[in-house]
Structure 1
Amino acid sequence: MSSDTVSFGYSEVAPEEKTRMVGDVFAKVAKRYDIMNDAMSGGLHRLWKDQFVARVKPRQGEHILDMAGGTGDIAFRMARKGAEITVADINPNMLAVGMERANKKAIEGLLWAEENAEALSFADKAFDAYTIAFGIRNVTDIPKALSEAHRVLKRGGRFYCLEFSTTTWPGFKEVYDTYSHKLVPRLGKLIADDEDSYRYLVESIRRFPDMPTFKAMIGEAGFVNAKVEPILGGLVAIHSGWKI
């Protein structure tokens, strides 16, 4: 792989091209994103998100940045705990869906911001916690995004990431590989009329660093006490770290 390229699924593209192409993917899938999450995970993504927010432990009056917050699933859960949430996403289509959902659910007080995870507009030490769920693998420069997460957190702030990873359960990995490569794109075609976008999303999971590698990247960004909590043997994982 050339140092001048980054992965877009199984392809190698220029960094600026990946940013544009990922933007195109999420612009296409925004309207059907939540329906597809239910279809692809059998509804399990809801339990994973509940578990994730339970680990974050949002508290009354805390300022939390939910990066790649898109349609609001994580933000809504944290807002119910009394935290003050800024929902940030690079994709305005995803934010629009999230704001529409918030209105329908009568969830008020959320701040919505179009932001690039690699170059946040927020001041240093602005947040008590930073969350990102199923978004970090779509970032063009992951170390830069982790560095930005560290910068905008207060001392004692916490970083939490929920992301697909690589399951270590014998046998299950092969079953999941077959399901994701063969069936998920077909579901994308059937439900969202977009097979290619969902093929990219599956491939992006395969290209994402495994649990020990991503844990090390969190430490390299300046976080301490980096941890990883596997779910379903690492099919999904909660990574965390603290800023001191």
Structure 2
Amino acid sequence: MEITHIPAGSRSGEEIESILAEVLDFDTLINEASGLGTDFDPRADEVRRELLSPTQYLSNQTWIGRLGRAIVAKGIAYLALQDNLDVADVWCSVHPELRGQGLGSELLAEMETNLAAQGRTQLTSYCEIPPSARDADLRGAHLAADSGTGSLPANQPDVAFLIRHGFAFKQLERCSVANSATEHRSSCLKAKPATRSRRGTGRRLNIGSTRSHFCTRGCRRTPPAPKNSVRRRRGTPHGSVPSTRSGPRTGSW
């Protein structure tokens, strides 16, 4: 798989526009496969901003994986610029028809190598799971959160991938959002829907979701070894919280 690394602001507007449509198509495909519903579909302005415009507080870095000319995997790291400077919030996803072939592991290894070279040696992540997936096998093996209450199916692909790669399941959030008065009024006036935030604030959701926070088990990584491999040091006891931050978006790996 050919992987292209795009830190926000590193490419011209023309270059970003040339790939924006196919990135949007890939993100829409991933969201459809997740079962979360169209409220989570990507927006062109948000994706464009992630690729082009770092702020003084936050920068994004994107990795695009291709087989031939087609996008088959994508990763994002959200990097705080004022604090937690050794932390990266990561999200990855792989084309639904190509999962289970090691593409997610290959992408994550490349991301870790790039991030470690920038001093980002601690990763957090999360996955968003619809209730239908969370409750599909209530009698099957479940993984309990280290903090608070709740559990997730251990065989859920997102969950299994993160645990297999050294992340620990820290916390569960249950989200249920109703229509706002503003949205109702806009609907009555046949106006455009209100602006929606990628991370959920201000969204109108037709379904509930479960947000599952993960952090790395050992949390600190040694400098990247040759051939893009990254070793984890598990010096921190399982269940300890390594950082005040947790929670980038992660899709299906």
**Both proteins in one fold, TM over 0.5:** no
Structure in which a larger fraction of residues adopt strand: 2
Decide which structure has the larger Cα Rg and report it. 2
TM-score for the superposition, normalised by structure 2: 0.32
Structure in which a larger fraction of residues adopt helix: 1
